[in-house]
Structure 1
Amino acid sequence: MNENQLREDMARLCKSLFDRGFSVGSAGNISARVEDGVLITPTNSCLGFLDPARISKLDNDFHHVAGDKPSKEVFLHRAFYDTRPGTGAVVHLHSTYATALSCLSDVDPDDCIPPLTPYVVMRVGRVKLVPYFRPGDARGGDLIRALEGRYAAALLANHGPVVSGKDFISTVYAAEELEETAKLLVTLRGAPVRMLQGQDVAELNKVFG
């Protein structure tokens, strides 16, 4: 995909996320790789009103080379690109239910989005809870790097989800799937729940990768 088309797609899908309540105000930031660098939403921008031409561009060393000033969370994105080869996009949202889970004290830090449905297994995988850090603190990048590429997605404690993937569109879909699964988990809290079993997860991973 050429850069101009990717800019248009980013503005279009970011607006869709905003319109459906996956982000509010200036919350959230999204990036996607191009041949000579990375496009990332500007700092303090609203996902619902992005100008494709003003989306920030970073070179392959993550220096700002064009567009508006990049998101202050750029270190989160870079950590995924650096530790997970083949990453083509990173989506960080403040979506309601995933953020709610990130605030609960009794979630499993090694599997905070358990295998409730096949699609969260197929599109997201196991999700790690990352300890709280101040938004904009570069320590967040260190915490993602410490995962050594083992997780495609994480919940940032008291903050929200961040998801990486092979391309922009599939990563947006994965972020949406994570939020919908989080909604089910919050809705079902206190009820007897039937999770997918180990053999079910193994089969999904074998068939869908």
Structure 2
Amino acid sequence: MSETKIREEICRLGRSLFERGLTPGSSGNISVKLDDGGWLVTPTNASLGFLDPVRLSRLDAAGKLLSGDAPTKEVPLHSALYETRAPARAVVHLHSTHSVALSMLPEIDPRAALPPMTAYYLMKCGATALVPYYRPGDPAVADAIKGLAGKYSSVLLANHGPVVSGDTLEAAVFAVEELEETAKLYLLLRGLNPRYLTPAQVADLTKVFELKLPDDHQH
């Protein structure tokens, strides 16, 4: 896909996420890695609903701004995922309501923020890690992401929101949407003793769809 098409795709999917209330105001950011090792990322203080393809931030492989507006303050977050997740070609970070709510609950396991509730959650997200709270833009969040050693494509930032990588931008968007819907299910069913997928069912999904779950998340 050409850079022009990628710019248009970032704006199209960003608007879709915004219009469905998945990241309000000027929250959230999107990046896509380019063939030359650089990447495109949404600008700081930009609403995902009103992005301009020409004004997207174009960074080189070292993260230096080459053109466009100043990039999001979350560049270290995106960079850490690209560095540790070899298949990652796109990263989406939102402030989606149910995922943020989930990140604030005391019982959440940092190695598996959600139980195996649905097949599509496992297929799209795998497992979701929870990292501690850092202020937005804090470079230390990159160290927390790197500490996951590339095992997770789906991460919750405590009291902040989800960040998900994918091998395409569309895959990352679909995954973060699946994470949000699964977080919503968890909150709806919390305290009701729901049935989750059994270890045998998880093993079947892992085999058939060749899922790569972290070693400590083999339910």
Following TM superposition, by how much is the alpha carbon of 1:124 offset from its aligned partner in structure 2, in angstroms? 0.2
Letter in structure 2 aligned against 1:113: L
Following TM superposition, by how much is the alpha carbon of 1:195 offset from its aligned partner in structure 2, in angstroms? 0.6
Deviations 1:65-122 (A, max 9, x none): 1111111000010001001112110110000000000111111111112110000000
Deviations 1:162-203 (A, max 9, x none): 101111111100000000000100111111211111221122
Q: Quick one: distance in 2 between partners of 1:53 and 1:206?
A: 43
**Residue 24 (structure 1) aligns with:** 24
The answer to whether 1:46 aligns with 2:67 is no
**Residue 6 (structure 2) aligns with:** 6
Unmatched segments (≥5 aa) in structure 2: 211-219
Q: Quick one: distance in 2 between partners of 1:40 and 1:114?
A: 31
Q: Quick one: distance in 2 between partners of 1:71 and 1:28?
A: 9
Q: Quick one: distance in 2 between partners of 1:82 and 1:70?
A: 18
The answer to whether 1:158 aligns with 2:159 is yes
Q: Quick one: distance in 2 between partners of 1:55 and 1:158?
A: 27
Following TM superposition, by how much is the alpha carbon of 1:153 offset from its aligned partner in structure 2, in angstroms? 0.9
Q: Quick one: distance in 2 between partners of 1:98 and 1:104?
A: 10
Q: Quick one: distance in 1 between partners of 2:114 and 2:71?
A: 29
Q: Quick one: distance in 1 between partners of 2:108 and 2:143?
A: 22
Following TM superposition, by how much is the alpha carbon of 1:155 offset from its aligned partner in structure 2, in angstroms? 0.6
Of residues 11-20 and 196-205 in structure 1, the stretch that sits farther from structure 2 once superposed is 196-205
Q: Quick one: distance in 1 between partners of 2:171 and 2:114?
A: 18
**Residue 217 (structure 2) aligns with:** none
Letter in structure 2 aligned against 1:151: Y
Matches within 5 A, 1:15-164: 15-36=15-36, 37-164=38-165
Question: What is the aligned-residue identity percentage?
Answer: 54
Q: Quick one: distance in 1 between partners of 2:198 and 2:69?
A: 47
Following TM superposition, by how much is the alpha carbon of 1:3 offset from its aligned partner in structure 2, in angstroms? 0.5
**Residue 208 (structure 2) aligns with:** 207
Letter in structure 1 aligned against 2:10: M
SS of the equivalent of 1:35 reads: coil
Unmatched segments (≥5 aa) in structure 1: none
Q: Deviating runs (4+, > 2 A) in structure 1?
A: none
**Residue 214 (structure 2) aligns with:** none
Q: Quick one: distance in 2 between partners of 1:91 and 1:202?
A: 28
The number of residue pairs the alignment matches comes to: 209
The answer to whether 1:188 aligns with 2:189 is yes
Letter in structure 2 aligned against 1:202: A
Q: TM-score, normalised by structure 1?
A: 0.98
Matches within 5 A, 1:171-186: 171-186=172-187
Q: Quick one: distance in 1 between partners of 2:164 and 2:126?
A: 10
Q: Quick one: distance in 1 between partners of 2:208 and 2:33?
A: 27
Letter in structure 2 aligned against 1:193: P
Following TM superposition, by how much is the alpha carbon of 1:129 offset from its aligned partner in structure 2, in angstroms? 0.6
